[in-house]
Amino acid sequence: MLKVFICEDETPLRETYEDYIENQLVIKELDAHLVLSTGEPKKILDYLLNHPDTTGIYFLDIELNAEMDGLSLAREIRNYDVLGKIIFLTTHDELAPITFQYKVEALDYIIKGELEKVKTSITECLDTIFAQQKVQPEKRKQFIIKNGKHERYIDHQDMLFFQTSTVPHMLYLHTLTGRIQFYGTVKDLISIGDNFVRVHKSVVANMDNVRSIDKEKLKLLFVNGQKCAFSKKKIKLVRDYLDQKKET
């Protein structure tokens, strides 16, 4: 079940969003519920800190009268929830290009104008999110990251590569939307799936998300533009895998 969050500092408007979103969740029988609606960004971050396995839908006002604005809040949210869906709301359409600078992979940017149009945009966002959720969910493979009593589930299709850290037994998982730090070893990753290949002594890559290779610089280029190194000894292995993928 997805968790819905609203951060809007204008109380009447926030209450309007609450009522409308809750009604849509009930009417459309969507597998989600509103867990927090607030004008204080810190409350959302505190919730995520205490619930690290959260996958959420976040409706964020950009111009918050608080210690941080909606853009900064979105960037902090990504440290906890790399797969959540972020929707910005603002009265200033000229701020739209700025959102891309924060690299938070926002789903939409809704202009606060006529209320009915805002509601329509909210509905379209919910429809898009849950249409994606219904795409063969039983076949979705996931990687589990354990942190004490908590577990996080990351879809294989969202994973780019694992990379070792300078800290012993610490790994980084790079995804389409961010980076997750956790304890483990490279040897633990080999059995994830045939598409996860050790391309460097410090890197295990999801070859399904590799778009191309740079043989001169020994870099893999992923579908989102991100890059990672691979070993010269692995060139044939990488090329063979990509050639095989083209054939299928």
Averaged pLDDT, 210-230? 92
Q: Which residue has the higher pLDDT, 64 or 18?
A: 18
* Residue of 6, 14, 120 lying closest to 70 (CA atoms): 6
Q: Looking at residue 103, what is its pLDDT?
A: 66
Q: Residue 161 class from Cβ within 10 Å (0-12 exposed, 13-18 middle, 19+ buried)?
A: buried
Predicted confidence band of residue 99 (pLDDT cuts 50, 70, 90):
low
Condensed to tens digits (0 to 9), the pLDDT of residues 106-125 reads 888 899 889 999 999 999 99
Q: Which of 147-151, 160-164, 222-226 has the highest mean pLDDT?
A: 160-164
Condensed to tens digits (0 to 9), the pLDDT of residues 151-183 reads 777 888 889 999 999 998 899 999 988 889 999
Name the DSSP class of 191: T
In the predicted model, is pLDDT for residue 65 greater than 90? no
AA identity, residue 147: N
In the predicted model, is pLDDT for residue 199 greater than 50? yes
CB 210 within 8 A of CB 197: no
Task: Give strand ranges (E) for 91-138.
Answer: 108-111
CA 50 to chain centre: 18
Domains defined for the chain, CATH in brackets: 2-135 (3.40.50.2300), 141-247 (2.40.50.1020)
In the predicted model, is pLDDT for residue 149 greater than 90? no
Secondary structure element (H or E) that encloses residue 16, with its range: helix 11-27
The contacts of residue 183 (CB under 8 Å, 6+ apart) are: 169, 170, 171
Total residues belonging to the chain:
248
Averaged pLDDT, 184-213? 89
pTM above threshold 0.85: no
Predicted confidence band of residue 136 (pLDDT cuts 50, 70, 90):
very low
